[in-house]
Structure 1
Amino acid sequence: MAEYQHKEPKIDDISVLEPEATYSYADYLRWSFEERVELIKGKLFRMSPAPKRSHQEIGGDIFVAIHTYLKKQECRVYQAPFDVRFPNKPGDPDDQTFTVVQPDICVICDHTMLDDAGCKGAPDLIVEILSPSTASKDLNEKHQLYEEHGVKEYWVVYPGEAVLEIYELQNGKYVSQGKFVKEDVVTSKVLPGLKLDLSEVFGGIE
């Protein structure tokens, strides 16, 4: 006779979670509350409420530019909400995976990392658009996380300043390639041939 497997109940109230506890991706899959959250090394981080209009417009413009560039190419681009899991080892099961984040935009060129749940492993390029409530996380915890797991390029957008900063992974460490403004055209080593005109990205920001 097969042993009865107890199914863990869903959790629909975020307030019952312990902020200082360590959670896994298996726990994350049980959460059915509406609030979006991320896990970084087992620690719970609340995501910002609905982003401002400028955040949405900037993200949309960057996504469309990359999506258009990638047509008929192997790499794929995804926009949040889209789960990216960072296991410590490729074969780690859900209950041993302690990091799952939702980047604003990510590009994945290795299709073996894609499944119905999202991406398992490091995207080639990640874009995060800062908001007041997530800026510290994006500039600190996520910067370190993406560096540790080998994300080749990390783009950070400062909407209020109309600035895009590009970090490139060199010898396992991020090196800033500069801060680019509305008058600049951005290129990428990960996506050779892409030319992102920031006047189109930041032109409508008031």
Structure 2
Amino acid sequence: METLVRDFDLTEIINGEEIMGPSPFRKHQAVSANLFDIIRSHVKRNNLGKVYDSPLDVILEEGINRLQPDILFIKKENSDIEQDWIRGVPDMVCEIISQGTYKMDMVLKRAVYEKYKVPEYWIVLPELQAIEVLTIEGDRYKTYSIAEIEGMVQSKVIEGLQVNIKDAFED
């Protein structure tokens, strides 16, 4: 029974503290599915690497930081971090923000991703129909691409990827 529970465990470890995340709402899951489909089809078509969705542990530092981003991408040349879980720094992580996860995603997890220099961090805000793509420059995230309600966002890390905002938030 323990294995079954572990398969659906939404517990993350952030700076050594276990944090149980809330179950996502339907809108969150719809946006996540849309983005996963868009990103995964582009990555597969161009043979760029692998795309995964939550729940999947990303172990940045054993016992200290184990997160579960909503979507993550690993370049094929970095596939050595793909083990039982992801053990190391993915090339891109995406968090879909809801009221219950705002502080955790926008403050705590962002700081962890920045600390480990995750090259690209997508912040997705369903309530605003907005996506901001941040890239690491030195030790800090800077906005690379942003769009709200309509328009396109693009990835610096996933070669050639552009996402139409309307497609991401289609219900």
The reply to whether residue 48 of structure 1 matches residue 14 of structure 2 is no
Paired residues in the alignment total: 167
Unaligned stretches of 5+ in structure 1? 1-9, 13-28, 88-93
Q: In 2 relative to 1, CA 35–70 (structure 1 residues): closer, same or farther, beyond 3 Å?
A: closer
Partner amino acid for 2:65? T
Q: 1:196 to 1:178 in 2, by over 3 A?
A: closer
Rg larger in structure: 1
Alpha-carbon RMSD: 2.1
Identity, % of aligned positions: 29
Higher helix fraction (1 or 2): 2
| The structure with more strand, counted as a fraction of residues | 2
Shift in alpha-carbon separation, 1:98–1:53, aligned structure 2, 3 A: same
Structure number with higher relative contact order (C-alpha < 8 Å, ≥ 6 residues apart) = 2
TM-score (norm 1): 0.75
Which of the residues 57, 66, 82 maps onto 1:100?
A: 66
SS across alignment from 2:19: strand
Shift, 1:74, TM fit:
3.6
Match of 1:67 among 34, 40, 51: 40
Q: How does 1:162-181 map to 2 (within 5 A)?
A: 162-181=129-148
Q: Does 1:80 align with 2:59?
A: no
Which residue of 2 is the match for residue 127 of structure 1?
94
Distance in 2 of aligned mates of 1:187 and 1:40 = 28
Query: Match for 1:143 among 101, 107, 110?
Result: 110
* Structure 1 SS opposite 2:51: strand
CA distance 1:178–1:111, shift in 2 (3 Å): closer
User: Which residue identity does 2:133 align to in structure 1?
Assistant: I
TM-score between the two structures when normalised by the length of structure 2: 0.89
Matches of 1:98 and 1:199, distance apart in 2: 37
- Deviation of 1:165 after TM superposition, in Å, equals 1.3
Gaps of 5+ in 2: none
Q: Does 1:37 align with 2:11?
A: yes
1:186–1:196 Cα contact (<8 Å) kept? yes
SS in 1 for 2:64: coil
Note closer, same or farther for the CA distance 1:178–1:65 as it changes in structure 2 (3 Å cut).
closer
